[in-house]
Structure 1
């Protein structure tokens, strides 16, 4: 170990900024923020949160596993990588390969930047052994992937290492297997034979996702590790204002939902406890990884970023829903992000900066000094500019969805609910003090507008949807806000690269870049009312699965920009 410490010390003292950091990414599956799951992970708190920064406005760009993970791996919004579902014609590993993404994504760029790349656990949906055998995921120095059909089993999960035939770990708890494999890969990356080569390590247990039964595809409760079945026996889903509540002005199929009955509520509480139980081994996994890094010596630990996040959120009883994700609400899309590493402030909570999975992908590329020349990266690198201090801070996040809503568990009222195609944006002011809005348009023609400063649980829709042909809101002020946000959504829905990072520039109005404090505030100047009022409103021609640009209008062009 002396040799590797000496190499890292030489790197940091003689090369300085040219010394590339190690990056460890731990990503869970379906872990939300709103129900307080992080409060039940004390080891995560002591090893990462208290030693790093928690980003409290971090969003999944699609509230579904596979599209969100691809957005991380490509640092792109789903309308650009066009992986919009988990299986079939619109998503999964096979479509990922068909679109050529297996030749152009994160690990390949990291390797070109001089990194060793390692991964264990779930990469994305649809990764089965027959596909690995013919089209193995590219760019990995050493990998050990969870493979179908046993990906979502807590016992008897299957792994394939380096495209070898899968091995079933019968009777072993999946998170523990992932932990042990991750520690082995970390030891390999730190071995003196690597000569101090920087590394990326991805660790992806499927906890706290529900089990998916092989026989019928039914979603059932998570299965805790033996000995932990009785933990948290008195804990219930937090009774937030949105729990079992109907929003005023609810849209699409949500406006017809009945209250959950006692049996359904009791089941929701039970599943919540099961989720907390299966997160305990994840908590231990985090601690084990941090300890392994620290045992390698200060020169290693001081040059290693450790990132904890999840692919999407999860709703348990909010808005009268049964279990599931797939909707544009905070429960579904607000996910954890905690980062510890060089120059990251310790024990800090970042409550103002709005980031998305596409930004995290761009940030990992930036930290590694990786150059992407094959396509335009949509995300904003928010760390590597000053190693912990972002020079400009995005204040928006785009959430997209083109599929059916899915309810999970034994009391699911429907496993495929149509009319769930939508676009939704979150927009804050640069000042962080005045504006904090959620605006969305559904394929039904209905709109949503929520003021998160006064309505953080999205229970009072300020849009009036009595007539889908009209553009009407609760007051002149909210009408003005909505006109700007609708125009911004038109820009973002087909944005590429820099336009995704700074969409206000597209309007060609003086002062609308992020170098100006308060882009939305500037846009709300009454002098621009005529311009925004004349803008065509975003709409869908029909409700369809999959991203089909020709059924969404208008498409942004320079002809729609401001003219003096």
Structure 2
């Protein structure tokens, strides 16, 4: 999905999704967008890499969009090509990524697809006049036809073709497995030809659903907080709140057509008798915020509303009606997992790890990681990155930001989520820690402060270059999280999955009589205080759009690792 936060993927909003996928499979409470923006997050799925490695970091301009994807050569080395190399037929309908237009369809047609029906700009976000390019042909407009319904019809036809090809094989060995990507733009705002963002438009018959429903009045709704430009936002007035409630209802309404799409596709799979050997996955590229921390509708910030997205999966080996509460995953992990399921391989090192889908964390669909390590990590973590301006959507976006092209500056940051378990396997720590290009820091205790209201970092005008937190214990904790962030911000491959081993390389040789630092709890031991205090703290030279590694320091090296 496009811009669907986890909070609007619940059973009361999308009952068919839950009946068909969540209740027959597993849902995840901690699945994150690696960048809280659609194009870079989608590229992370298609490449299995974090944005600091694929460097497609925005939706257009010199830093992102489909043209940047092509310029960097990814159209020659990404998910569908890897799947085809493993013998899969590949199908796709809907939005691939921002910036796929008529010109690029001609000069850089998306490679690796057996059959495709791509939404094409500038009509990609128009609910009642979408444009589709069929298998690289010039796009065709569909005035008056509903985008999600068209995608359901196109996906159904592709699925039927894939099933027919399976059934036409004389032996199981000759059967061609398939991958089908279905990507409606719902519940994204409608984007008009002028570039204006207006409310999403529901399917015929759904216009009056959810009457009287309002955006959730969470503890952070219309409450000031955050850093950089966010902390200066004024409280929303009644007119703006009424508009937010209206847009929220529209988002729920457009998701009803998506719910029907899910139901239809799953039923088609079941009717074909292939459900027992088919994985069906539901996910979104990034989240969406409405009213939290006094915000206009939009995304791009490191808050949970922007970054936490729905993820559900059913299929062979996955327990029914299971909820994973103990793992952290992100879009690169999904890319790696799809390749692992297909016994396919990438032509480069993946940052993502193959996900565990067992109900008791005892059996994985496929194992990953370095089994030679003597220490197994109890800590889990992921990184959320951003290097561009933040757009405000809807009719009440800040006037000055609109005059400047619709972007707020100083929205460059790195933020991590760090989870740690106790000896019984229960969650002991769940932290969000981040550093902004302004020098400001954020530290939130997600167990006791899930709505990120109480920033434990002290950011006064004279302290941006210092390392100040609310208590000495918080300063000690932040020194560990800062080191973890420094490792993750340039991590490649296995280091992304086990950054603690980069910090403590002796983990790989530790025996039962030696200390293993397997997660945050172990790293908080007093014996490591002086080491973490001595490490240079992460900072930016300047706020600037685009990922430029020389503006961020330090870069982790082996010489910075703990040596005993």
- Distance in 2, Cα, partners of 1:211 & 1:433: 40
- Distance in 2, Cα, partners of 1:351 & 1:560: 33
- Distance in 2, Cα, partners of 1:514 & 1:156: 62
Aligned to 1:193: 168
Q: Which runs of 4+ in 1 moved over 2 A?
A: 34-39, 192-196, 383-394, 430-433, 508-518
Deviation by residue 1:178-205 (Cα, 9 ceiling, x = unmatched): 0000000001111133653111000000
Q: CA deviation at 1:355?
A: 0.4
Gap change, CA 1:517 and 1:525, over 3 Å in 2? closer
Secondary structure of 1:132 counterpart: helix
Matched, 1:489 2:485: yes
Aligned positions of 1:382-531 closer than 5 A: 382-383=355-356, 386=363, 388=365, 395-413=380-398, 414=401, 415-431=406-422, 432-466=426-460, 467-508=463-504, 510-511=506-507, 518-531=518-531
Aligned to 1:558: 558
Matched, 1:344 2:335: no
Secondary structure of 1:289 counterpart: helix
Contact 2:457 2:470 in 1 (8 A): yes
Instruction: State the TM-score, normalized to the length of structure 1.
Output: 0.92
Gap change, CA 1:394 and 1:469, over 3 Å in 2? closer
Gap change, CA 1:429 and 1:513, over 3 Å in 2? farther
- Distance in 1, Cα, partners of 2:53 & 2:364: 28
Count, aligned residues? 531
Contact 2:391 2:407 in 1 (8 A): yes
- Distance in 1, Cα, partners of 2:450 & 2:509: 27
- Distance in 2, Cα, partners of 1:482 & 1:118: 45
Q: CA deviation at 1:49?
A: 0.7
Secondary structure of 1:183 counterpart: helix
- Distance in 2, Cα, partners of 1:115 & 1:378: 23
> Structure 2: where are the runs of 5+ without partners?
369-375
- Distance in 1, Cα, partners of 2:501 & 2:544: 31
Q: CA deviation at 1:258?
A: 0.5
Gap change, CA 1:523 and 1:517, over 3 Å in 2? closer
Gap change, CA 1:422 and 1:489, over 3 Å in 2? same
- Distance in 2, Cα, partners of 1:227 & 1:164: 32
State the Cα RMSD in Å: 1.8
Aligned to 1:281: 257
Contact 1:110 1:117 in 2 (8 A): yes
Secondary structure of 1:427 counterpart: strand
Aligned to 1:537: 537
Pick from 217, 229, 239 the counterpart of residue 217 of structure 2.
239
Aligned to 1:306: 280
Aligned to 2:43: 70
Aligned positions of 1:79-90 closer than 5 A: 79-90=52-63
Gap change, CA 1:513 and 1:495, over 3 Å in 2? farther
Deviation by residue 1:419-460 (Cα, 9 ceiling, x = unmatched): 110000000003342111000000000000001011000000
Matched, 1:253 2:229: yes
- Distance in 2, Cα, partners of 1:102 & 1:224: 33
Deviation by residue 1:497-529 (Cα, 9 ceiling, x = unmatched): 011111111112544899968511111011000
- Distance in 2, Cα, partners of 1:371 & 1:388: 16
Aligned to 1:330: 304
- Distance in 1, Cα, partners of 2:12 & 2:73: 40
Q: CA deviation at 1:34?
A: 3.2
Contact 2:500 2:518 in 1 (8 A): no
> Structure 1: where are the runs of 5+ without partners?
1-27
- Distance in 1, Cα, partners of 2:6 & 2:272: 32
Instruction: State the TM-score, normalized to the length of structure 2.
Output: 0.92
Q: CA deviation at 1:343?
A: 1.0
- Distance in 2, Cα, partners of 1:51 & 1:228: 27
Aligned to 1:217: 195
Contact 2:340 2:366 in 1 (8 A): no
Secondary structure of 2:5 counterpart: coil
Gap change, CA 1:302 and 1:424, over 3 Å in 2? same
Pick from 163, 176, 185 the counterpart of residue 149 of structure 2.
176
Aligned to 1:22: none
Contact 2:354 2:366 in 1 (8 A): no
